[in-house]
Chains A and B, each alone.
Chain A
């Protein structure tokens, strides 16, 4: 039955939502700042999220490989990689604090690959790095980071709850004061009171049919923050990569990072006519262009009828030897071979959603526009702008995780904790439990999700245009109006009911998808990860602006606002034209 009853109430100082690298780093920092901390994850805390799957590297300007490198150069690369739209203050903090953040994670016991002289190995991943800067650990960089953070969590005995889906953030006046969550294992509605909340909910790859994320990357954090009145920024910049494996379906979406192993002049991809084509899509004519160009190039070939059978292009095994793959990408190579991919034959690769460059707009304290609500990692927005260069996301979670944890603890410890209104709690509990008493006449959540994914892929993915975006937004509005109210589950069991989780996720997904499509429609230019075929040029005259989104007074309407961005001298139009 639908009722406003809460099954359990829990109190903490700092609530961390998300059990990946950013969440754990923040939790450890908040604990060390003297706060009582509780970490919730939709999955298993410490084993959920994308950090653990990180492969290639993270950028830290030690200057070991090239003494000319330093945080200033890293900052310039980040601003240029963000096509002028990164928040300069946040990018500055990010680059300046990266070295200390790595020293911290090493003090937690994480070990990375070193040269014989004991210095960390630094590699150049691609042209977005002026000098070799990426730290690595074999081809499984996420593993030592997560192991170290799990150890620190255990050492401090930080409380955690697994398989909890947060459905709403609670407020007292302007500030957040708690959350409502659904406990998947127990089927219970849990009310949490918290002095501060840190969102570490990751990205939204699951909005697309093919993505590199985990299947629970449904963008809940963005929708929760929006619904709580927080601003989102730069979310039209969805990084699509063009080097995900498309076939066989067993490994679809898994990134195959061959582009970091190419020798000069190698032509890694060819179309169904056997022609290499990447350089045709790069303004500078590179055979190994910036990573967002890959997706656009493959898309172009598919549209011209020169695609592979599963909608991509072919990786040429002649461009990287099997020996090199086994040497540099052993985990990826073994994984693909396990599922029958012959790495010595052409492999079908193509577009996969990878990373939302923007997100919950944060300030230098990692705090959102809602007091007490903090954000870290992919769900946050500001440090990257219109594009995130490879290797900057792991650095980001370490730098801003530490900041968010310390700042949230300070906020919570300052006292004047709010308390939620009982009406708001009851109304949310009723909303969540209402799914249990619905007539089973409407579509199941996964039917709506599949429809949403197709719309996102066709109109809000690699290439966008006015007509497609408008029609898609109209359809999202129709889904919210007609499909969501009738959406029903296969059964009304409370315990371990994944349809229940998915129904709540899909509701959040539609909200965020509508926001992303709306921002993409508004931005009538092409920049970084956002490409409009009807406005294919970068337009610095009109669009050195961030798009900020929030709920208007009418709770169902989203308000889009543009704000001037002043990127400073590091941003030069000539370098940005590659977009």
Chain B
């Protein structure tokens, strides 16, 4: 069993004044990609988290790109690590949480 604490960006423009970072403890049977960790939070910990689920999950489509520990990367192609933070890319209009407007 692996235990991780990850911090995700939360912001609901319809009711929040400003974004906040929320920490989550997750437990899994083995290593997770960052994308899987986000899904894990949504399924097992906090169903109010907004995220996108129409990705290719193998580094082709690029829509899962986020800032991971401040660096823009594909969440499907990176391992989730203890203490990591995940935020939308800068200068994007936020729909809610990890969902931002696309080009």
Contacts of A437 in B (CB 8 A): none
Q: What secondary structure prevails in chain A residues at the interface with B?
A: loop
Q: Report A338 CB to chain B, min CB distance, Å.
A: 6
Q: Does B26 contact A (CB under 8 A)?
A: no
Segment 157-171 of A: residues with Cβ below 8 Å from B: 162-163
Q: Does B58 contact A (CB under 8 A)?
A: yes
Given A47-B62, A162-B102, A498-B42, A249-B30 contact (CB < 8 Å): yes
Q: Report B54 CB to chain A, min CB distance, Å.
A: 3
Which residue of the partner chain B has the closest CB to A19? B54
Q: Report B73 CB to chain A, min CB distance, Å.
A: 12
A497 to B56, CA, bound (A): 20
Which residue of the partner chain B has the closest CB to A334? B59
Instruction: Return the CB mask of B33-71 against A: 1 if under 8 Å, else 0.
Output: 100100000110011101111111111111100000000
A42 touches B96 (CB 8 A): no
Given A249-B30, A496-B97, A48-B12 contact (CB < 8 Å): no
Given A163-B54, A495-B95, A496-B99, A43-B63 contact (CB < 8 Å): yes
Q: Does A285 contact B (CB under 8 A)?
A: no
Q: Does A361 contact B (CB under 8 A)?
A: no
Contacts of B79 in A (CB 8 A): 250, 339
A215 to B61, CA, bound (A): 13
Range for the number of chain B residues in contact with chain A? 35 or more
Q: Does A464 contact B (CB under 8 A)?
A: no
B51 touches A53 (CB 8 A): no
Given A52-B61, A250-B79, A495-B96 contact (CB < 8 Å): yes
Which residue of the partner chain A has the closest CB to B77? A338
A446 to B43, CA, bound (A): 7
A250 touches B32 (CB 8 A): yes
A339 to B58, CA, bound (A): 11
Q: Does A142 contact B (CB under 8 A)?
A: yes
A496 touches B96 (CB 8 A): yes
Given A44-B102, A493-B12, A498-B51, A249-B36 contact (CB < 8 Å): yes
A33 to B43, CA, bound (A): 45
A102 to B59, CA, bound (A): 26
A184 to B53, CA, bound (A): 11
A52 to B77, CA, bound (A): 16
Contacts of A499 in B (CB 8 A): 47
Given A47-B63, A250-B33, A53-B58 contact (CB < 8 Å): yes
A491 touches B47 (CB 8 A): yes
Contacts of A143 in B (CB 8 A): 60
Given A43-B63, A493-B48, A496-B97, A215-B77 contact (CB < 8 Å): no
Q: Does A335 contact B (CB under 8 A)?
A: yes
Contacts of B29 in A (CB 8 A): 249
Most buried by A among B48, B54, B61, B77: B54
Q: Does A2 contact B (CB under 8 A)?
A: no
Contacts of A444 in B (CB 8 A): 47
Most buried by A among B30, B56, B77: B56
A497 touches B50 (CB 8 A): yes
Q: Does B91 contact A (CB under 8 A)?
A: no
A225 to B58, CA, bound (A): 30
A52 touches B31 (CB 8 A): no
Given A338-B77, A496-B50, A214-B57 contact (CB < 8 Å): yes
Instruction: Return the CB mask of A473-511 against B: 1 if under 8 Å, else 0.
Output: 000000000000000011101011111010000000000
A215 touches B12 (CB 8 A): no
Partner of A498, one of B53, B61, B102: B53
B95 touches A496 (CB 8 A): yes
B55 touches A495 (CB 8 A): no
A466 to B61, CA, bound (A): 41
B60 touches A53 (CB 8 A): yes
Contacts of B32 in A (CB 8 A): 249-250
Q: Does B17 contact A (CB under 8 A)?
A: no
Which residue of the partner chain A has the closest CB to B47? A490
**A43-B61, A44-B54, A249-B28 known; 6 other A-B pairs, CB under 8 Å?**
A44-B61, A249-B29, A254-B58, A490-B46, A496-B96, A498-B51
Instruction: For the complex of A and B, list the 5 residue pairs with the smallest distance between their C-beta atoms, beginning with the closest.
Output: A490-B47, A43-B54, A496-B96, A496-B50, A47-B61
B interface residues with partner A (beta carbon < 8 Å): 12, 14, 28-33, 36, 42-43, 46-48, 50-63, 77, 79, 95-97, 99, 101-102
A interface residues with partner B (beta carbon < 8 Å): 41-44, 47-48, 52-53, 140, 142-143, 162-163, 184-185, 214-216, 248-250, 254, 335, 338-340, 444, 446, 489-491, 493, 495-499, 501
14 sample A-B contacts, Cβ–Cβ < 8 Å, listed by A number: A42-B54, A48-B61, A53-B58, A249-B29, A249-B30, A249-B32, A250-B30, A254-B58, A335-B59, A491-B47, A493-B12, A496-B95, A496-B97, A498-B51
